[in-house]
A and B are shown apart, each in its own frame.
Chain A
Amino acid sequence: MRITVTVDGMDYGDEVEPRTLLVHYLRERLGKTGTVVGCDTSNCGACTVHLDGHSVKSCAVLAVQANGREVTTIEGLARDGQLHPVQEAFHQNHALQCGFCTPGMIMQAIDLLADNPDPDEDQVRHGLEGNLCRCTGYQNIVNAVRDAAHRMSPGAGPDAERVDETKLVGRTPMHAGGGE
C-alpha cells in the first residue's frame, strides 16, 4: 500500500505492507535508528514517537496508519545543532545509564510537558509510566524532566517542537538513541 508521511519535517512516499509496524518503517526504510525497539510487548516505550503531536508507541501503530500524517522522532528535535531543552536537561542531569530508554523517555517527557508545563514529581512519574528504564535510573530522569520544565517557559513544550520546520531540511541528524 502506498503511503505518504512527514517524518521530522521531511516528506516521504513509500510502498509498505499493511503489517509493517511504524517503528520498523522508521528504522529500516528511513534509517531513523534513533527510535529503538526495547521489547516485543508494547510495554517499554523505547519506541515512543509523536504522531500528529501526540506520543504513541510506534510498535503499536501500523505504518499505513501514519499515511497523510506527521511523525516526529528523537532525530527531529535538535535545531541547527542545538539540542531540544529536554535533551539538554537529560544531558545535564545525567538522566541515563545505558541510554537505551532515552529516546522514548525524551519523546514522552516532551508530550507530558505539553500537557502539564510544570509537573511535580508524582506527575512526572505518572506521565512516564509507559516508559521503562531497565537500569532503574528513574531518579535522574525525573530530575531532568523537572529541570526541563524550568528551562522552558510555561507552555513551551509543544512550541519548542514547532520551531520553524523549514530549518530541518539539510540539517545534520542527531542520534540520541543507542547510548552515548
Chain B
Amino acid sequence: MIPAAFDYVAPTTVDEAVRALAAGGEDAKVMAGGQSLIPVLRMRLAAPTLVVDLSGLTELTGVHDNGDSLRIGAMTTHYEVQRDPLVREHARLLCLATDTVADPQVRHRGTFGGSLAHADPAGDLLAPALALDAVMVCVGPSGTREVPAASFFLDYFTTALAPDELLTHVRVPKLTGWGAHYEKFNRVAQAWSIVAVAAALRVSGGRIADARVGLTNMAGTPVRARGVEEALVGQPASAEVITTAASHAAEGTDPASDGNADAEYRSHLARVLTERAVTAAVSA
C-alpha cells in the first residue's frame, strides 16, 4: 500500500526540527528511523500532513561518556547501540535487549530514541530504560527539560513528550560490572514480545547487592517489578531466593488480553521469565 500524501522536511539541526514541528501544528509527525511509522503510514493508520524526518540530525547520533552516565543520541540506530563498546561495558542490558528488536534490516534503520518515543508497550527498549533509571532529554520551543523514565511512559503509545517536543538524548546511568539479561518470549522470529523481562543485578560476596527488574508488555507502560527487586536485595544469589522473588513478578501489573495471550497467561509468563532472567543475570 501507498501512504497518503504528506509534506516532508528533513531539518539538519535540532532548532530547525523544533521550528518545523511547531509550524506543522497538530498534524505534523516526527520520523526517526521510520521502522514503525512508515508501515503505519502505508496501512494508512496515520495520515500526517507533515513528516519531520530527523535522519539528517547527525548531532543526535552516537554514544558519549559523561562520567557517571552515558549520553545516547536519540537517532543512534539499534545497530550502533548493539555494537557500542561504552554501552556494552556500562549498560549491557541495553545491548542484550537491542539484539532482540525486530530483525537486522530494521535494526539498521530503527533508532533508540524513536523506539522510546513511539512507546509501544511491546517494544523491547522501554523496560530496560526504566530498569536502568534512564533520563529522557526533551527539547521544545521553550527549551530543554529532563524527564526520568519512570514519568516518561504514560500509557499505550503515549509519553510525556509534548506535541511540539523532540526526544534528543537519553542519559543512562552507568551500571558497570553488573550482571544483565533480557529474556524475551515471542512466538516467531522478528515478532514483538508477548512478555519480556529485563534484569540487571550487582552481586557482591555471594549476595545480591542491587537488583533492577523491568517488565515488557505487562501494562500499557513498562513496569518495574518492585516486589521482585525487594525480595532479591540482600539475599544470597541462590536458586531458592530467585524462585521466591520471581513469584512476585506480576504484582501491580495490568497485562492486556489479546490474540497472543490472555492476561492470566501473561502473568504466568512474567513469573517464569523473571526467574530465567534473574538466574541468567546472576551468572552473567
- In the assembled complex, the Cα of A21 lies from the Cα of B1 at a distance in Å of 10
User: A62 and B103: CB pair below 8 A?
Assistant: no
Q: Which residues of B contact A41 (CB under 8 A)?
A: 39, 43
User: A19 and B4: CB pair below 8 A?
Assistant: yes
- Name the one of A24, A40, A130 contacting B103, with C-beta atoms under 8 angstroms: A130
Which range contains the number of A residues in contact with the other chain? 20 to 34
User: A108 and B2: CB pair below 8 A?
Assistant: no
Q: Top 8 A-B pairs ranked by shortest CB distance?
A: A130-B103, A18-B8, A129-B189, A19-B3, A54-B108, A42-B39, A60-B38, A57-B105
User: A19 and B39: CB pair below 8 A?
Assistant: no
The reply to whether the CB of B85 lies closer than 8 angstroms to some CB of chain A is no
| A residues apposed to B, CB below 8 Å | 1, 17-21, 24, 40-43, 45, 48, 51, 54-57, 59-62, 64-65, 108, 111-112, 125, 127, 129-131
What's the A-B contact tally at a CB cutoff of 8 Å? 86
User: B2 and A60: CB pair below 8 A?
Assistant: no
The reply to whether the CB of B260 lies closer than 8 angstroms to some CB of chain A is no
Q: Return A106 CB to nearest CB of chain B, in Å.
A: 13
- In the assembled complex, the Cα of A55 lies from the Cα of B102 at a distance in Å of 14
- In the assembled complex, the Cα of A60 lies from the Cα of B3 at a distance in Å of 11
- In the assembled complex, the Cα of A108 lies from the Cα of B190 at a distance in Å of 14
Q: Which residues of A contact B39 (CB under 8 A)?
A: 41-42, 60
Q: Return B56 CB to nearest CB of chain A, in Å.
A: 9
Q: Return A51 CB to nearest CB of chain B, in Å.
A: 8
Known contacts: A64-B10, A65-B53. The answer to whether A130 contacts B102 by CB under 8 A is yes
Q: Which residues of A contact B8 (CB under 8 A)?
A: 1, 18, 62, 64
Interface residues of B in 1-58 (CB under 8 A from A): 1-8, 10, 34-35, 38-39, 41-43, 51, 53, 55
Q: Which residues of A contact B3 (CB under 8 A)?
A: 19, 21
User: A42 and B2: CB pair below 8 A?
Assistant: no
Given contacts A19-B5, A64-B10, A129-B104, 14 further A-B contacts (CB under 8 A): A1-B8, A17-B5, A40-B1, A42-B38, A48-B105, A60-B105, A61-B109, A62-B53, A127-B104, A129-B103, A129-B190, A130-B102, A130-B105, A131-B103
Q: Which residues of B contact A108 (CB under 8 A)?
A: 104-105
The reply to whether the CB of B178 lies closer than 8 angstroms to some CB of chain A is no
The reply to whether the CB of B272 lies closer than 8 angstroms to some CB of chain A is no
Of all chain A residues, the one with the shortest Cβ separation from B102 is: A130
User: B51 and A45: CB pair below 8 A?
Assistant: no
A-B contact pairs, 8 of them (CB 8 A): A21-B2, A21-B38, A21-B42, A41-B43, A51-B108, A111-B105, A112-B104, A129-B189
Q: Which residues of B contact A43 (CB under 8 A)?
A: 190
Q: Return A31 CB to nearest CB of chain B, in Å.
A: 19
Q: Return A168 CB to nearest CB of chain B, in Å.
A: 23
Q: Which residues of A contact B102 (CB under 8 A)?
A: 130
User: A61 and B190: CB pair below 8 A?
Assistant: no
